[in-house]
């Protein structure tokens, strides 16, 4: 059956019911509707692209069960209307008042097919309400399933209504699928292309032509490093005649440290990284070492299984290294404290690694996925057993030395204070005996205080006066100097938030209805039953009774076990999503039964399996994806796809993606030559508008960084949860309140204003103009061409050059003077307008 | 060559017919070759105005909307839905018949007890509407208000309930009410966004979902104003750059963007072109809009606003200035009204914070002759239970309640000084005129001249609408 061939009865579905019922009256309208419909390109619904790979065997659980549940069970589930229940194969075969529902192997004589296709509208139409009727795809699946023998799940008697969804696709283990055969083998570069092209050929859709080399180098560079390629790199690539020039540039980019910054930022989104605590106080907190650890680990291509283990449980590794403890900062990025924070830690791991909305089971057993409330708290128990210390970057000797200094500080402070108290007794005497001359030597602000009657002075005024008086004594000043000197000696160490497992386990109970004040039964750490078992006996170092309390380390190792069905799938899906805008599973944070099924289930499994067998190497995964022909397609929109696949689920072209906030800025800094590539360290504070920090309870200020720190990459900008930098926010940076697995991509006038007028971009436009003027080329045309190569990695068209030259001329004309002194200013202003134009282009802020 | 161009033309016509209202004809026209350049220029102007005013389906009763969203779910029982029986049965278990099959969001007691409202009620205005003592200003304008006492939601948790209220669906991804309205009607405010969202207090649990465009073109995304510092940043041209220069730069940007649209056909580029046009106009219109200093002392007093203190009252003045300038849909959120515990102490300050602002807004709109054309809607994502939610601290509150809760509307074609719907003696269930969120949405669209069944958008082969598969216009509300 192909999507191009539809039965008459299928078409009926497109017509309002009144048309169908009253056919004689509306026949002419109906006919014209059919004609219009037929003239349109055949339509593929998204769910069409989903589970149904048409030449495949229909899978009951994946394809048919959801149809029964969605369309039929409200009447033919528990209720058995008309005597029919469609909840087990036995019941369905038995049928209802009208006889058996279907005849396995022959859909053409099956009652259910007649009913859903409305073969005889007068006899039987199901479902009776219009909005529940089956889609064309669903009908096709149902027919195919019956024709293939109507195989139910494992047990013909099993009752769908009672059954949990344990046989959901995502809970089945990953089996490496066969690579499908395709007709256009010469199009394919690697296995990915076989899976993608296989589906395209099934739907008779052609893939897009490859993007130009220029587009590809820009796409690759932005995708892999978040920075534009320099003109030299571009030229080298385009002129490289080596057969594997493309592979070489991929390797080059993957080995750049910018790769870790780019993909680290993606990871920091899911890790809900921020430099402050959130809530009303939003205190600053030191955790940038964790951010740097992420970037470094990705640059070293730390295998993803180790990457996972170190972040979840680095502290529990035997002889944990400091870096492994720093990694546990992953657990510390939550906002809430106490049980609320632990809830967030559990839900984050559930979402990031399992791709499940485990949080739903916090108050009650999950309504759709097989996770009971008991299991939720078993999962929670893993995280409910840690202390939350601050790890200082100091040796024991350094810490001892600091303790000694702190002791001295306290001593010096006491001496100073004691002396001050003694002196204070004489302050009134001093005040009343001040001569006019003495007074003139005092600071005006102190003189002002002296003029206020003693009783009316505020406490700070009294304190100021006392200090002034004390400082008139050499003895006091000497003690003060000594105190200051010793304070200045106190060493400051870098520090970062980490977790440590408690020695005495904390008891975990169910929180009834999610209320941590209502404790239910006690639970021990454990994993949901639907997933591979994790038992203490199987792990090392059991206690004498053979049982041992499971820890985060057990959990982390379990997550990356080769038989785990979720971690690898969820991870490759998220990586895929960054390249294609949408994951193979569109609901990247819900692989449960309420999520969308994968558009390419076999590709997903193949990638997951390949990822694990390449030792969880992310760089190899990236290489695999970006060297595919699928990735290298043009992103040009195709009229033929707009109707049949508007969301590009088939991937018959590359997506066009608006860049992320940080990348938009990094790129502008790079092309203007301002970018400071220094890596790591505490967050930086580039320019921010006044008023953003207004009304903060902690009174923190945004004190602008100095010098080249203003031009560091966006990843390093200090992130206040309560008051994120407005530019970042306007371009959809997540708020770090909880884990973010996908950013939105909005498109607003406020964004336009930001790139037009924000001082960051004004700086960039001026610097870029300066750069253009400093190039040795002379003519305006050549400068414009150079600017295009810098910003867009392509040559301008003739009309683009004309448009920018017109702009230049108009800008020049605005300067009336011909004074040679101002000639440079004049050129700079005009070229700044040109640069401002380029930095604002849709193409500039988009990866094509 | 000729043939190729032609094919390209037809292909693109098909392509852009999918881009949504306005953008279609337009973007296509920009693709025509030199021969029809003049026409292209003419139509091109429209690219920049995908929000040009559009004819409603029928004569509208209101033109603009101000939605005062009380986030968290204020207690209808302590504000508008007076229930003397709560007093009488205070502390007694609620009869099981009321709560059969009920799943409260947080209350876990199987026999929760009835809780009286700690505050007194009076009847006000000619309409004699009941209003709590906590709203001394609102009660002065009751004759302008239409109370809907039986709004019904399906969702008992905040994010889903907020999304249902604003997008007609519990999950994210659908267009919000304001986006639908700007898609259906465009805007008469050439120089301001059609749809502005702002507010203060807690971050809404549904985040941007409250004003997101969903699958509609991104032009219909609500524009968010800031609540700290200036409401809109980056309005000023860079130092030593003239407005004329910015105009020229934007012309160049849009010219180049239009060329790119020709080449790649991404409808996002069309949205961006209109965003740059609006950005330019905002540079002159927004400073005027947000210049609250121009408000007279009398106006400030009417709202109880103080220019030096950011407040809901000041936000209400800003909202009025927006509709005055033709903004189609203003969405102002305030709160956290989520009083599970300590309602006695936490509730009154919230009421104080909004009371005079709401009343001032109604009066001010009326005085300025704006109320007839402006529909004001006040309400939360749900109400609160007549039964107590006890806390370990002893400070009781009320849980979420979805079966019947109160919203009020004013202006724009609703019948002033009336109320629709009755709840039972405990304010638990509706006994007359249950009004589902979809009904409310259908009604709001109707007041704006839009038929909720005809305001559709085709996405993934299906015609979607705000009211999903429900919605019934509540004509009783109309004046």
Q: Are A311 and A274 in contact (CB under 8 A)?
A: no
3-state secondary structure A504-573: CCCCEEEEHHHCCCCEEEEECCCCCCCCCCCCHHHCCCCCCCCCCCCCHHHHHHHHCCCCCCCHHHHHHH
B-chain CB neighbours of A44 within 8 Å are 461
Q: How many whole angstroms separate alpha carbon A784 and alpha carbon A615?
A: 47
* Closest in B11, B106, B223 to A750, CB measured: B223
Cβ within 8 Å, pair B226-A814: no
Strands B64-70 and B329-335: parallel
Tokens of A129: 């309400």
**B81-84 long-range contacts, CB within 8 A, separation 24+:** B81/B130, B81/B149, B81/B383, B81/B405, B81/B406, B81/B423, B81/B427, B82/B121, B82/B130, B82/B132, B83/B117, B83/B386, B83/B423, B83/B425, B83/B426, B83/B427
Tokens of B258: 């239009």
B297 CA to centre of own chain: 28
Residues 6+ apart with CB under 8 A from A460: none
Q: How many whole angstroms separate alpha carbon B401 and alpha carbon B461?
A: 36
Residues 183-222 of chain B whose Cβ lies under 8 A from any Cβ of chain A:
193, 203, 207-208, 212-213, 218-219, 221
A-chain CB neighbours of B246 within 8 Å are 756
Tokens of B331: 């969405």
* Closest in B11, B223, B240 to A639, CB measured: B11
* Closest in A43, A643, A804 to B252, CB measured: A804
Cβ within 8 Å, pair A746-B221: yes
First-to-last alpha carbon distance for chain A, in angstroms, is 36
B-chain CB neighbours of A759 within 8 Å are 238
Residues 6+ apart with CB under 8 A from B332: B66, B67, B68, B69, B197, B198, B199, B312, B315, B316, B319
Give the tens place of pLDDT for each residue, A564-589. Answer: 999 999 999 999 999 999 999 998 99
Angular region, A152: left φ>0, alpha ψ -120 to 50, beta rest: beta
Which single residue is written with the structure tokens 């031009």? A711
B-chain CB neighbours of A636 within 8 Å are 263-265
Interface ipTM = 0.77
User: How much is the pLDDT for B73?
Assistant: 96
**What value does the mean pLDDT take over residues B285-307?**
94
* Closest in B15, B224, B272 to A639, CB measured: B15
User: How much is the pLDDT for B286?
Assistant: 92
A673: how many CB neighbours lie within 10 A of its CB?
14
Give the domains, in start order, of chain B with CATH numbers: 2-51+243-273 (no CATH), 64-234+281-477 (3.40.720)
* Closest in A748, A833, A843 to B275, CB measured: A748
Cβ within 8 Å, pair A754-B229: no
User: How much is the pLDDT for B255?
Assistant: 96
Q: Are A832 and A764 in contact (CB under 8 A)?
A: no
B-chain CB neighbours of A690 within 8 Å are 229
A-chain CB neighbours of B228 within 8 Å are 691-695, 723
Q: How many whole angstroms separate alpha carbon A836 and alpha carbon A762?
A: 7
pLDDT at B461 over 70: no
User: How much is the pLDDT for A118?
Assistant: 79
Is the four-CA dihedral B147, B153, B158, B160 of positive or negative sign? negative
* Closest in A45, A640, A749 to B223, CB measured: A749
Cβ within 8 Å, pair B269-A842: yes
Cβ within 8 Å, pair B245-A811: yes
How many A/B residue pairs have CB atoms within 8 Å?
A: 180
Tokens of B122: 């009076």
3 state DSSP class of B34: helix
User: How much is the pLDDT for B46?
Assistant: 47
Confidence of residue B188 (pLDDT cuts 50, 70, 90): confident
pLDDT at B101 over 90: no
B-chain CB neighbours of A693 within 8 Å are 228
pLDDT at B159 over 60: yes
B12 touches chain A (CB under 8 A): yes
Q: Are A576 and A654 in contact (CB under 8 A)?
A: no
Q: How many whole angstroms separate alpha carbon B56 and alpha carbon A345?
A: 49
Cis peptide before A163 (omega within 30 of 0): no
Nearest-Cα distance to chain A for B359, in Å, is 26
Give the tens place of pLDDT for each residue, B362-373. Answer: 999 999 999 999
Cβ within 8 Å, pair A513-B108: yes
Q: How many whole angstroms separate alpha carbon A93 and alpha carbon B335?
A: 56
For residue A205, give the nearest of A178, A184, A179 by alpha carbon.
A184
Cβ within 8 Å, pair A747-B271: yes
- Vertex B384 angle, CA B382 and B388, to 5°: 160
- The length of chain A in residues reads 848
Q: How far is the CA of B74 from the CAs of A71, B77, B201, in angstroms?
A: 37, 9, 14
Q: How many whole angstroms separate alpha carbon A160 and alpha carbon B93?
A: 39
Cβ within 8 Å, pair B275-A842: no
B260 touches chain A (CB under 8 A): yes
Domain positions in chain A = 8-155, 275-392+502-566, 396-493, 759-847
Q: How many whole angstroms separate alpha carbon A573 and alpha carbon A353?
A: 11
Residues of chain A with pLDDT under 50: 1-55, 161-163, 541-544
Cβ within 8 Å, pair A694-B229: yes
Q: Are A698 and A281 in contact (CB under 8 A)?
A: yes
Nearest-Cα distance to chain A for B439, in Å, is 18
Q: How many whole angstroms separate alpha carbon A170 and alpha carbon A677?
A: 41
Nearest-Cα distance to chain A for B248, in Å, is 7
User: How much is the pLDDT for B297?
Assistant: 96
Q: How many whole angstroms separate alpha carbon A658 and alpha carbon B9?
A: 26
Angular region, A245: left φ>0, alpha ψ -120 to 50, beta rest: alpha
B293 touches chain A (CB under 8 A): no
- Considering only residues A566 and B308, tell me which one the structure prediction assigns the higher pLDDT: A566
């Amino acid at each position: 059956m192909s999507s191009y061939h539809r039965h008459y009865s299928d078409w009926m579905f497109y017509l309002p019911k009144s048309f169908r019922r009253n056919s004689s009256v509306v026949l002419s309208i109906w006919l014209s509707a059919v004609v219009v419909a037929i003239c349109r390109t055949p339509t593929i619904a998204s769910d069409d692209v989903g589970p149904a790979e048409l030449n495949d065997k229909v899978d009951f659980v994946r394809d048919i069960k959801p149809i029964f549940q969605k369309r039929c069970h409200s009447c033919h589930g528990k209720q058995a209307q008309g005597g029919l229940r469609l909840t087990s194969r036995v019941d369905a075969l038995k049928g209802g008042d009208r006889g058996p529902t279907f005849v396995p192997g022959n859909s053409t004589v099956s009652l259910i097919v007649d009913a859903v296709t409305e073969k005889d509208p007068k006899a039987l139409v199901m479902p009776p309400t219009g909005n529940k009727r089956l889609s064309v795809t669903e009908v096709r699946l149902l027919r195919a399933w019956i024709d293939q023998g109507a195989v139910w799940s494992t047990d013909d008697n099993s009752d769908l209504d009672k059954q949990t969804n344990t046989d959901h696709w995502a809970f089945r283990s990953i089996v490496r699928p066969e690579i499908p055969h395709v007709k256009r083998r010469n199009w394919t570069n690697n296995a990915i292309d076989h899976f993608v092209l296989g589906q395209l050929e099934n739907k008779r859709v052609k893939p897009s032509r490859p993007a130009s080399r220029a587009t590809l180098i820009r796409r690759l560079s932005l995708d892999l490093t978040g920075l534009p390629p320099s003109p030299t790199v571009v030229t080298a690539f385009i002129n490289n005649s080596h057969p594997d020039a493309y592979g070489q540039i991929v390797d080059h980019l993957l080995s750049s440290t910018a790769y870790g910054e780019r993909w680290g930022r993606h990871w920091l989104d899911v890790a809900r990284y921020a430099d402050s605590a959130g809530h009303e106080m939003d205190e600053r907190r030191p955790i940038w070492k964790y951010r740097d650890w992420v970037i470094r680990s990705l640059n070293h291509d730390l295998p993803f299984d180790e990457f996972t283990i170190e972040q979840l449980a680095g502290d529990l590794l035997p002889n944990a290294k400091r870096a492994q403890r720093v990694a546990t900062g992953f657990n510390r990025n939550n906002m809430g404290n106490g049980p609320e924070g632990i809830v967030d830690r559990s839900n984050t791991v559930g979402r990031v690694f399992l791709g499940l909305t485990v949080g739903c089971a916090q108050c009650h057993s999950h309504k759709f996925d097989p996770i009971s409330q008991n299991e939720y708290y078993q999962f929670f128990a893993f995280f409910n057993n840690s202390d939350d210390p601050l790890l200082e970057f100091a040796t024991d000797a350094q810490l001892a030395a600091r303790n000694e200094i702190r002791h001295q500080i306290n001593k010096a402070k006491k001496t100073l204070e004691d002396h001050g108290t003694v002196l204070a007794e004489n302050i009134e005497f001093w005040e009343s005996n001040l001569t006019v001359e003495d007074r003139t030597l005092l600071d005006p602000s102190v003189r002002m205080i002296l003029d206020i009657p003693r009783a009316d002075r505020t406490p700070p005024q009294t304190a100021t006066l006392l200090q002034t008086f004390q400082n008139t004594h050499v003895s006091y000043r000497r003690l003060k100097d000594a105190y200051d000197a010793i304070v200045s000696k106190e060493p400051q160490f870098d520090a970062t938030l980490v977790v440590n497992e408690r020695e005495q386990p904390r008891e975990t109970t169910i929180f009834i209805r999610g209320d941590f004040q209502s404790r239910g039964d006690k639970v021990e750490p454990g994993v949901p039953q639907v997933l591979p078992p994790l038992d203490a006996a199987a792990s090392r170092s059991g206690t004498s009774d053979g049982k041992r309390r499971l820890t985060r380390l057990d959990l982390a190792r379990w997550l990356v076990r080769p038989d785990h069905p979720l971690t690898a799938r969820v991870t490759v899906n998220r990586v895929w999503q960054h390249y294609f805008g949408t994951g193979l599973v569109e609901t990247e944070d819900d692989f449960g039964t309420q999520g969308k099924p994968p558009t390419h289930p076999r590709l997903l499994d193949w990638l997951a399996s390949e990822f694990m067998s390449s030792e969880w190497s992310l760089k190899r995964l990236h290489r695999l994806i970006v060297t595919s022909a699928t990735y290298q397609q043009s992103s040009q929109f195709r009229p033929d796809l707009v109707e049949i696949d508007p969301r590009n689920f088939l991937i018959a072209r590359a997506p066009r993606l608006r860049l992320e906030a940080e990348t938009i800025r990094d790129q502008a800094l790079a092309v203007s030559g301002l970018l400071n590539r220094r890596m790591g360290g505490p967050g930086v504070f580039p320019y921010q508008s006044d008023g953003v920090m207004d009304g903060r309870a902690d009174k923190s200020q945004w004190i602008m960084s100095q010098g080249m720190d203003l031009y560091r990459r966006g990843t390093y900008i200090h992130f206040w949860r309560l008051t994120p930098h407005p530019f970042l926010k306007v371009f959809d940076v997540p708020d770090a309140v909880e884990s973010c697995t996908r950013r939105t991509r909005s498109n607003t006038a406020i964004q336009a204003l930001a790139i037009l007028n924000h001082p960051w971009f004004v700086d960039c436009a001026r610097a870029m103009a300066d750069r253009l003027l400093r190039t040795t080329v002379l003519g305006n045309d050549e400068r414009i061409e150079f600017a295009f190569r810098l910003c867009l990695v392509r040559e301008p068209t003739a009309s683009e050059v004309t448009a920018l030259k017109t702009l230049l001329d108009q800008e020049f004309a605005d300067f009336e003077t011909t004074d040679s002194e101002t000639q440079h200013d004049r050129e700079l202003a005009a070229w700044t307008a040109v640069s401002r134009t380029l930095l604002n282009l849709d193409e500039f802020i988009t990866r094509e | 060559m000729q043939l190729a161009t032609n094919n390209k033309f037809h292909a693109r016509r098909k392509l852009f017919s999918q881009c949504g209202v306005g953008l279609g004809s337009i973007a296509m026209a920009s693709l025509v070759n030199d021969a029809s350049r003049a026409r292209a220029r003419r139509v091109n102007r429209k690219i920049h105005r995908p929000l040009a005013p559009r004819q409603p389906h029928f004569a509208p009763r209101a033109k603009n909307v101000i939605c005062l969203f009380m986030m968290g779910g204020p207690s209808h029982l302590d504000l508008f839905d007076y229930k003397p029986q709560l007093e009488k049965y205070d502390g007694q278990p609620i009869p099981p018949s009321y709560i059969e099959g009920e799943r409260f969001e947080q209350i876990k007691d199987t026999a929760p007890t009835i809780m009286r409202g700690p505050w007194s009620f009076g009847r006000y205005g000619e309409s004699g509407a009941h209003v709590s003592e906590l709203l001394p200003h609102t009660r002065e304008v009751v004759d302008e208000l239409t109370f809907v006492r039986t709004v019904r939601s399906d969702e008992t948790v905040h994010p889903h309930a907020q999304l249902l209220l604003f997008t007609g669906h519990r999950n994210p991804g659908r267009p919000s009410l304001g986006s639908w309205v700007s898609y259906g009607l465009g805007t008469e405010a050439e120089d301001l966004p059609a749809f502005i969202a702002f507010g203060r207090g807690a971050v809404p649990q549904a985040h941007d979902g409250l004003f997101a465009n969903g699958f509609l073109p991104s032009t219909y995304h609500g524009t968010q104003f800031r609540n700290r510092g200036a409401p809109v940043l980056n309005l000023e041209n860079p130092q030593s750059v003239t407005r004329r220069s910015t105009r020229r730069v934007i012309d160049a940007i849009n010219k180049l963007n239009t060329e790119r649209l020709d080449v790649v056909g991404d409808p996002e580029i069309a949205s961006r072109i209109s965003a740059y046009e609006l950005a330019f106009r905002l540079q002159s219109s927004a400073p005027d809009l947000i210049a609250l200093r121009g408000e007279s002392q009398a106006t400030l007093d009417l709202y109880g606003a103080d220019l030096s203190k950011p407040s809901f009252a000041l936000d209400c003045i800003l909202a009025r200035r927006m509709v005055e300038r033709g903004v189609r849909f203003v969405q102002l959120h305030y709160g956290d009204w989520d009083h599970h515990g300590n309602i006695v102490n936490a509730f009154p300050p919230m009421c104080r914070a909004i009371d005079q602002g709401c009343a001032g807004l109604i009066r001010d709109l009326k005085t300025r002759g704006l109320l007839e054309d402006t529909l004001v809607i006040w309400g939360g994502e749900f109400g609160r239970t007549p039964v107590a939610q006890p806390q370990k601290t002893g400070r009781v509150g009320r849980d979420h309640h979805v079966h019947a809760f109160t919203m009020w509307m004013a202006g724009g074609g609703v019948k002033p000084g009336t109320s629709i719907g009755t709840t039972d003696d405990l304010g638990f269930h509706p006994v007359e005129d249950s009004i589902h969120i979809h009904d409310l949405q259908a009604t709001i669209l109707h007041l704006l001249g839009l038929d909720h069944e005809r305001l559709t958008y085709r996405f993934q082969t299906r015609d979607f609408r705000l009211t999903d598969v429900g919605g019934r216009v509540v004509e009783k509300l109309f004046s």
